[in-house]
Amino acid sequence: MHLYQGSVSSMFEYSAVHGTFIAQTVNDPDVMGQMQKSFSNFVESGQVWALLIGVVIGYLFRSLTSYG
């Protein structure tokens, strides 16, 4: 019981010390615009093709190595 109380109290002490990182300043509040820009960069850089090829190869590898 004593070990549990010590771990709980240390958890609260840790959150009190590092609680200042919860509130941050936001430089660009346009979240949807950031997501659209990131997705377009994902498509333009060719990473979407790497993702699709990896999924297909992974599925084939799983189907060839699974039993049953």
Q: Is residue 11 part of a domain?
A: no
Q: Is residue 31 part of a domain?
A: no
Mean predicted confidence (pLDDT) in 22-33: 81
Q: What is the pTM of this model?
A: 0.52
Q: Is residue 58 part of a domain?
A: yes
Rounded Cα–Cα distance for residues 21 and 48 (Å) = 34
Q: Is residue 7 part of a domain?
A: no
- The parent domain of residue 62 ranges over 44-68
Total number of domains constituting the chain: 1
Question: Are 21 and 15 within 8 A, CB to CB?
Answer: no
- The pLDDT score that the predictor gives to residue 21 is 60
Q: Is residue 60 part of a domain?
A: yes
pLDDT per residue as tens digits for the range 42-59: 999 999 999 999 999 999
